[in-house]
Amino acid sequence: MDDGERPTGSAGLLPLFARSSTAEGLEEKLRRVREENRRLAATLGAILADHPHLRALATSPASAIAATATARTRSSSAANAAREEANAAREQVAGVTVESRSKVRTVCARAEPSDSDANLSVKDGHQWRKYGQKVTRDNPYPRAYFRCAFAPSCPVKKKVQRDAEDTSMLVATYEGEHNHHAQSPVGESIPNESTGYGWARSLPCSVSVNSSGRTIALDLTNQGSGSSVQAALREVVTPEFGKLLVEEMVNSLKNDAEFMQALTTAVAEKIVQNIPDL
């Protein structure tokens, strides 16, 4: 997508990370950063003020967004796994439900239209090697078993199965934790097509959105050249689409105090990194 294009919903979002080719003074940069911070804080404050009901939703494990995806999940083949994790800590980002216990996470993601039953894939920045497939009793669609292919010693396993009732949904269950960084040896790049799992290990927030728009991953540690929330959002299929995504993301995250704190911290760190002399 053309860098010049920008989803309307993200207009003005974090322009501070835009690369400056000029040798404009660090002071000026700092001023812009501070101004941007003020704007962001004001915007978030206004949003929170306008939607106090979302605070209650966000603090409830059965929050609205989680309910949409989770309900589908639990009513189907993934119900057993989901029930087993009834006491698990829950994390969520718009459109994606992650239920986690210490080492088990269930992730719902919209399947790519091109995904066949034999080609289930939930991209998450890791390389996986399929080692088995099984048709389970309560789901006509086969369950695929994957191991992390990046490191032979990596204990992480992943199960992916199409939802029996909503076949456009994939349910991925992760077991264990990667003992290496989320990176593939041959660079399985996931520019705008990944599902969230990395946030479990890193602070949110670069934004990766799959083409269906139901899956968003945030990873602030993923700040390659030109990479930023703004840049990532530019890769969203259409400006309208991006706007919707932004709204959904904001709605689901803005009342999460932990997320906001993490976001603030991460943004501050990035500012410091971008201004070495600061």
Given the rule CB under 7 A, which residues bind DNA? 118-119, 129-134, 136-138, 143-145, 149, 157, 159
Smallest distance from the beta carbon of 190 to DNA, in angstroms? Answer: 15
CA distances from 260 to 17, 100, 196, 204, 228 (A): 19, 20, 18, 10, 17
* Residue number with CB closer to DNA (6 or 159): 159
Instruction: State the Cα–Cα distance between residues 128 and 63, nearest whole angstrom.
Output: 31
In angstroms, give the least distance from the CB of 145 to DNA. 5
Q: 97 has which bridge partners?
A: 92
The residue among 88 and 260 lying less far from DNA, judged by its C-beta, is: 88
Task: Report the chain's C-alpha Rg in angstroms.
Answer: 19
The backbone torsions φ and ψ at residue 100, rounded to the nearest 5 degrees and listed phi first, read -135, 145
Q: How far apart are CA 95 and CA 170, in angstroms?
A: 12
Tokens 């990532």 belong to residue: 232
The CB-of-235 to DNA minimum distance in angstroms stands at 25
Nearest distance, CB of residue 6 and DNA, angstroms: 36
Nearest to 235 by CA among 204, 198, 209: 209
- Quote the least distance from Cβ 159 to DNA, whole Å: 6
- Residue 180 beta carbon to DNA: minimum distance, rounded to whole angstroms: 16
Q: Which residue type sits at 260? A: M
**At 247, which amino acid appears?**
E
Residue closer to DNA by CB (options 193, 269) is 193
Residue ranges in the chain assigned as alpha helix (H): 26-50, 52-59, 64-74, 79-84, 229-234, 239-253, 257-274
Quick one: 61 or 132, whose CB is closer to DNA? 132
Q: Shortest gap between Cβ of 137 and DNA (angstroms)?
A: 4
Q: Which is nearer to DNA, 6 or 143 (CB)?
A: 143
Could you give the dihedral angle defined by the CA atoms of residues 278, 261, 199 and 215, in that order, rounded to the nearest 10 degrees?
-110
Q: Taking Cα atoms as reference points, which of 65, 85, 64, 63 lies closest to residue 74?
A: 85
Q: Which is nearer to DNA, 119 or 265 (CB)?
A: 119
The rounded distance, in Å, linking the Cα atoms of 77 and 161 is: 8
**For residues 145 and 241, which CB has a smaller minimum distance to DNA in the complex?**
145
